[in-house]
Structure 1
Amino acid sequence: MSLRFGYGTNGFANHRLTDALAVIADLGYEGVALTLDHHHLDPYADGLVERVAKTAARLDELGLAVVVETGARYLLDPRRKHAPTLLDDERGLRLDFLRRAVAIGADLGAEAVSYWAGVRPSTVDEATAWGRLVSGCAEMADAAERAGVVLGFEPEPGMLVQTIADWFRLRADLGAPGSFGMTLDIGHCRCLEPDPVPECVARVAPHLVNVQIDDMRRGVHEHLEFGDGEIDFPPVLRALADGGYGGLVAVELPRHSHAAPTVAERSLNFLRAAEQTGRRGDDRG
């Protein structure tokens, strides 16, 4: 089974969304990870219903699958990155945003809507923060089930849920709802997980609904182009295929918008070559 590669629109921040989608499709990607932001399908701007419908039609015309990402940096607060989160006192704004993302995801026919916990505020103790996260995620799971949307919750370095083990704890506390899956960033596995990256993939394969891919170094949360970090990708891609993962594997390079078309082309060429190398390794095995 061939993997389906996509590219994240947060790596096309200097492009109009319509132009970014066209470039991504022309390069040969099969999907897009669409980060809702003030310049890309702003969920708070006027004419949302019409804009979502036009985006859905354009995605269909280009043959692009889509997942919805919610990691915009300053959409909700122009002064505080990623704020407010589900852990903050004023978390209602984050819940509203996530509900909007679920509705947009449903209208786009998205394969998943991805989100994360956030960084625990220094004024909030860990038990309170965890309780807020569980209750917020329970609300989102209910909303997703009603909308027929799958959620991909992402462990993120430095956040309250930052490891695969943290994700399993959260899932258990939620009662393992059917709408609650995992978004896995391959780079994060190298950054902080104790096990080799292919083993991380195999461990979570039954729960994967969304995969982000980038290179990274141990202990450093910096999204790098392929070959600039420490990850050996053929075994990773082979692990995804062996695990039966059929969702998008979307390149996550949010700091490379200055050279987006070139970086996107290099990335797809790298991934295709790595996938072929992984298959040959399987054949030899």
Structure 2
Amino acid sequence: MQFAFSANAFHEYSPVETIETLAAIGYDGVELLFGGSHLHPSDTDEDDIAAVTNALDDTGLDISNCNAFMMSAEDFQHPSYIEADPQYRERRVDYTRQALELAAAFDADSISIQPGGPIPDGKSYAWGVETFTESLQTVVPTAEQVGVDILIEPEPDLLIETADQYLDIAHRIDSTAVGCNFDAGHLFCVGEDPVRAVEKLSGSTPHYHLEDIPADRTHEHTQLGDGAMNIDGFLEAVEDTGYDGFVTVELYPYQETAAETARDAYAYLDEHGWI
């Protein structure tokens, strides 16, 4: 397997500076950020695309995934795919179409998306599942047309939190363009064992996120080795499936020390024999 680092820790850097920094540390790839201070689809032009593409070519880094969570820098969970207001919901759908087209411009394989969003007050889980399915089905044709996969990322406190909930949604959408962005820490937060979940979701997972999580399972992305997760066991389980794609370290809370944090995560992986 290969290791990348997510650009969502690097808001204080430009996308090009992020790529150069991660390459100097030794990473194989970068997860591009489609929002915040980086490459928001609505204001990324041909010059921006060319600059990032040239930086990737110059450094030899590959794109592990394109992170399409952060539509708004103020509140990246809203608008979601399950807003009660259809017009507000459509803004998230349009953003996802634009993200797919931008990912195709970078010749990337996938974007990761939020798993529905927070269930609105007064609405049921069943309503959320139906609404999310309808929303996703409207963007699947774009994904199939441009050749970029949509990866649903289960997350605590949003509609889809667990492996089984992801599988239920996946069975409702008849498209090979839809997969799972397996975030080990997120599953740990909701009481699952990421090691055991690897086998359950391996057939659906073309990309993994990795971080550590505190022992109380609070949703707090923590430096590798500083939490309670069985990171080596998780990576061994992934390796045992024959996976040869990217595991992306995602430590977005560390924006004030992004480069140092990325370097320390790489050192942890190196010390544990994964690099």
- Fold shared, TM-score > 0.5 on shorter chain: yes
Asked if structure 1 preserves the Cα contact closer than 8 Å seen for 2:40 and 2:71, the reply is: no
From 52, 56, 77, the counterpart of 1:82 = 77
- The gaps in structure 1 that reach 5 residues or longer are 278-285
Structure 2 equivalent of residue 258 of structure 1: 256
Map 1:175-254 onto structure 2 (within 5 A).
175=174, 177-194=175-192, 196-217=193-214, 218-254=216-252
The amino acid across from 1:157 in the alignment is P
Equivalences, count: 269
Shift of 1:224: 0.4
Counterpart residue type for residue 239 of structure 1 = A
Would the aligned equivalents of 1:36 and 1:43 in 2 still touch at CA under 8 Å?
yes
Counterpart selection for 1:23 from 9, 21, 24:
21
Deviation at 1:70, TM superposition (A): 1.2
1:256 to partner: Cα distance: 0.2
- Structure 1 position 81, deviation (Å): 4.1
Deviations along 1:74-105, whole A, 9 cap, x unmatched? 34xx4x44210000121111011101110111
Are the aligned partners of 1:114 and 1:210 in contact in 2 as well (CA < 8 Å)? no
Cα distance in 2 for residues equivalent to 1:124 and 1:48: 39
Q: Deviations over 1:143-178 (max 9, x none)?
A: 111111112110011000111111000001113x11
Letter in 1 for 2:121: S
Q: Within 5 Å, which residues of 2 pair with 1:1-285? A: 3-45=1-43, 48-66=45-63, 67-72=65-70, 74-75=72-73, 78=74, 80-88=75-83, 89=85, 90-116=88-114, 117-175=116-174, 177-194=175-192, 196-217=193-214, 218-276=216-274
Deviation at 1:276, TM superposition (A): 4.5
Asked whether the 8 Å contact 1:84–1:94 carries over to 2, the reply is yes
Show CA shifts across 1:223-267 (max 9, x none). 000121111222211111111222211111111011111111110
**SS of equivalent residue, structure 2 residue 221:** strand
2:150 & 2:272 partners in 1: Cα distance?
28
Partners in 1 of 2:101 and 2:71 — Cα distance?
20
Query: In the superposition, relative to structure 1, how do residues 205 and 275 fare at CA in structure 2: closer, same or farther (>3 Å)?
Result: farther
Once the two structures are superposed, residues 30-62 of structure 1 have per-residue CA deviations (whole angstroms, 9 ceiling, x without a partner) of: 1111111242112222x6233223322321222
Q: Percent identity?
A: 25
Q: Separation in 2 of the partners of 1:171 and 1:276?
A: 31
Residues 187, 216 of structure 1: 8 Å contact kept:
yes
| TM-score normalised by structure 2 residue count | 0.92
Instruction: Normalising by structure 1, report the TM-score.
Output: 0.89
